[in-house]
Structure formats: structure tokens, C-alpha cells
Amino acid sequence: SQQGEEDPQALSIQEGENATMNCSYKTSINNLQWYRQNSGRGLVHLILIRSNEREKHSGRLRVTLDTSKKSSSLLITASRAADTASYFCATDPLLAGKSTFGDGTTLTVKP
Amino acid sequence: GAVVSQHPSWVICKSGTSVKIECRSLDFQATTMFWYRQFPKQSLMLMATSNEGSKATYEQGVEKDKFLINHASLTLSTLTVTSAHPEDSSFYICSARPTGGISYEQYFGPGTRLTVT
């Protein structure tokens, strides 16, 4: 089964609003990554957060990680229509040497 | 840098035929490549880990005789879907891990959409 679960499954907001997506996972990890996928396209790496980090920023993106709760959140501030995409978290479980993806959140930003 | 290409980007084939998908790391060497399958509105499911010069490691439930993986060089891995059936229609994505890279470092290709009629 997939390592990660994300919620919500779908999120629809207006341009300018903030979007928050959550990811939960099951086993201890080395790191957690967030990716974006536009419809029918490959994945674009957004940000990586290591297991010893609690928060990380990159432009309009803010990622938090709570290893005690085995969860992470991705916040996109001041959203734009171009942010419309599916967002996936991927975990790198200890000793696994491979990433496992969550179910994804489909974000729609209305202009 | 760190570009991964896939060819073809889309393919339509008839049921019972075989289809080969290529994954290339264009500007780096990759001892390890990964093959994923993604059904519409679903997440990526890891199918197998491709290792240069050795046999691929398949995930549980993936038929190795149906999905043949060949990682013949440090820049090329191929996935052949043999005797394709309509249920094999999916989006196939590869990723490549740079040789000597850290465990989480991987770069994704743009994907190949396979439709089996």
C-alpha cells in the first residue's frame, strides 16, 4: 500500500488565496519531498525537507514536517491560476533507497 | 542540468503487441532508474527499480515477464510492455538517480502515455 495519504483529495480556491495540503505517512523516514504534476505531464520537484527539519520555505511555498505525528503540510501562499495542478508528497523511508508517493491533492485555482 | 527524457511521449498499440519505452538521462549518469505507473487521477505506483548491469528489482504484484526492464548503459533504461492488453493503458514515468547521488535524489522524465486498443 502507499506510504503516504494526502488530504484533501481535491481543493478549489480563488486566485490570491492560500492553499494548504496535508500528507501523512506510516514509517520513519529520511526525508519528505513535495512534487507538482500538471495534467498529463511529468513531476516537478518543489521542495525537500529532512527528518531533522521542522519547516522550510521556498518562494511562495512553506513546508512543515512533524515526525511525531508522521505528517507534513504544504502551504502555497497567494495562489495563482498557474498553480493549478496535482501535488504529491513522497517519502524516503529509512533504508528503503526508494521513494513512495502519496495519493495526491488536486488543486484548482480559479482566476 | 539533470534532464531525463522519455521516448515516445505517447503511443497507441493494438492488444497483443509489445511496446518499448526508453528512459534516458541526458546530462548525467544513472546507475539506478525507477519505473512508475500512474492511472488517471491516481498516484504514482513504483513498478521496479532498474540497475545498470544487473537484473531489475520488481515491486510486489508486478509481473516481471510482462514488464521487461533492461538497463544496458548508465544513461538508458528501457521498459518493454509485452503482449499488451487494454488494462495496461496507463501513464508510465521513469526517474533517474545520479550515480553516486544521495538516496533521495532523483529526476523524473516527462512520462509516456500508453493506450492499448
pLDDT tens across the length of chain A (111 residues): 345 678 899 999 999 999 999 999 988 888 899 999 998 888 888 999 999 999 999 999 999 999 999 999 999 999 999 999 999 999 876 666 678 888 899 999 999
Are B104 and A33 a contacting pair at CB < 8 A? yes
A69 in reach of chain B (CB within 8 A): no
Q: Return the pLDDT at A93.
A: 67
Q: Tell me which residue of B115, B116, B114, B101 sits closest to B4, measured CA to CA.
A: B101
Q: Is A40 on the interface with B (CB under 8 A)?
A: yes
Q: Average pLDDT, whole number, for chain B?
A: 92
- The shortest CB-CB distance from B103 to any of A44, A97, A103 is to A97
**Nearest-CA distance from A16 to chain B in Å?**
26
Q: Are B47 and B67 in contact (CB under 8 A)?
A: yes
Nearest Cβ partner of A42 from B34, B49, B108?
B108
User: Is the confidence at residue B20, as pLDDT, over 70?
Assistant: yes
As a whole number of angstroms, the distance between CA B31 and CA B35 comes to 14
Tell me if B93 and A101 make a contact (CB, 8 A cut-off): no
- For residue A30, give how far its alpha carbon lies from the nearest alpha carbon of chain B (Å): 8
Say if residues A86 and A106 touch (Cβ distance below 8 Å). yes
Largest CA distance in chain A: 44
- Reported as a single tens digit per residue, the pLDDT across B21-35 is 999 999 999 989 999
Share above pLDDT 90 across residues of chain B, in percent, rounded to a whole number: 77
B41 Cβ contact partners less than 8 Å away, ≥ 6 residues apart: A106
Nearest CA in chain B to A96: B103
The band of B1, judged by pLDDT with boundaries at 50, 70 and 90, is low
Using CA atoms, how far apart are residues A20 and B117, in angstroms rounded to an integer?
39
Please answer whether residues B97 and B34 qualify as being in contact, where contact means their C-beta atoms are separated by less than 8 angstroms.
yes
Question: Do A91 and A32 contact (CB within 8 A), yes or no?
Answer: yes
How many whole angstroms from its chain centre is CA A52? Answer: 17
**Closest approach of B44 to chain A, Cα-based (Å):** 6
How many C-beta atoms surround the C-beta of residue A16 within 10 A? 11
For B109, the closest chain A residue by CA position comes to A42
Please name the member of A40, A42, A100 whose beta carbon is closest to the beta carbon of B46.
A100
